[in-house]
Amino acid sequence: MIDFSIFEKKTNIIFNDKKLLEQAFIHRSYINENTGSHLSHNERLEFLGDAVLELIITDYLYNKYPDRDEGELTAYRSSLVNAVIVGEVALSLGMNEYLLLSKGEAKDVGKARSYILANTYEAYVGAVYLDRGYEIARDFIAKTLFGKIDTIVAKKLWRDPKSLVQEKSQEYLNVTPSYSVLSEAGPDHDKHFTIGIFFGKDLIAEGKGKSKQEAEQAAAHKALETKDWLD
């Protein structure tokens, strides 16, 4: 069993059930490669943690921005819990050092690792919720994620990239963007898509994601950066 004592000190959350903590860091690929390990992967914890995270973030935004409507608050929440930001937070916490992955997944340190880390953060939140309760889970999310929202709102990063890039491309270039799948990889339960955004026949940018929609949003955001349309 992995020694999580340093990680527990860093987060100031000491688990009663160490096996539950370990499970939060076990990727499905590790189980597939180590069938006799009698361990469980983290996807059930991720499922639970995703719901806990959404409730805590929603409650925080509802109270922080009493004058904003539900549409804007939904956009804020989506921007705050997207895989890139959550993955960066997980990396800063040192979660990458504790991941149990297959040999193949362990070699990939690019976008795919960022998504794995984001999912691990959610699984960890689920484990904290089960082991230490709602308040401790909320405090952890408050310390690690709440502070990101001020930048998101100030820089208007919450705006839907696909809608914005369509608005800007029609305004400045009189073209409507189109999207095309450039590649897809991974098993059905863990697909990764690369999608290109085109202005006419010109490929402007590429985006990656665990769904086509997520990859399209990433491509649209990259296009906005490329064209310097993020005001």
Q: Give the total number of structural domains in the chain.
A: 2
Q: Is residue 231 part of a domain?
A: no
Q: What is the Cα 110 distance to its own chain's centre?
A: 14
HSE value, Cβ hemisphere, 13 Å, CA-based, for 153: 14
Smallest Cα–Cα separation from 48: which of 154, 117, 124? Answer: 124
pLDDT at position 152, please?
85
Tokens linked to 77? 């929440």
pLDDT at position 159, please?
78
Domain range spanning residue 204? 161-226
pLDDT at position 78, please?
87
74 plus 143 within the same structural domain: yes
Q: Is residue 36 part of a domain?
A: yes
Gap between the Cα atoms of 97 and 9, Å rounded: 15
Residues of the chain with pLDDT under 50: none
pLDDT at position 111, please?
64
143 plus 222 within the same structural domain: no
pLDDT at position 92, please?
94
128 plus 67 within the same structural domain: yes
46 plus 118 within the same structural domain: yes
Smallest Cα–Cα separation from 224: which of 166, 175, 180? Answer: 166
Q: Which residues are catalytic?
A: 50, 122
What is the dihedral sign for C-alpha 167, 168, 171, 174? negative
pTM for this prediction = 0.74
pLDDT digits 0-9 by tens, 173-204:
999 999 999 999 888 777 889 999 999 999 99
Q: Is residue 55 part of a domain?
A: yes
Strand spans (E) along the chain: 178-185, 192-199, 202-209
Last residue of a domain, one of 154, 175, 204: 154
Q: Is residue 102 part of a domain?
A: yes
Residue 168: count other Cβ atoms within 10 Å of its Cβ: 18
